[in-house]
Amino acid sequence: MELRQKLSFEKLETMKLAHLTAKETTEAKRLQKESKMMQAYNTLISQDTSSMSDEEKAERVAAMKCFRKTLFPESI
């Protein structure tokens, strides 16, 4: 009986660690995606718009609004 309890406890601990690892992996992927979005947003901010057509400028503004909404939801 004691051996069965020990194995059950170890299995539970293994499952907890697997769950924690999955959560950390998910969080890491989310942060990586957010970082890439921030890089793209910063690229858009620093673009020279003097040679852009009105359509290109409008697309740029739309993209920046989308990024801003996703990256800074509390500021909207």
Average pLDDT, the chain: 93
- pLDDT tens-digit profile of 52-74? 999 999 999 999 999 999 999 98
Domain boundaries, the chain: 2-75
The model's pTM is: 0.70
| pLDDT score at 4 | 85
Query: Which pair of structure tokens corresponds to residue 70?
Result: 């996703």
Contacts of 69 (CB under 8 A, 6+ apart): 76
Contact 73, 54 (CB under 8 A): no
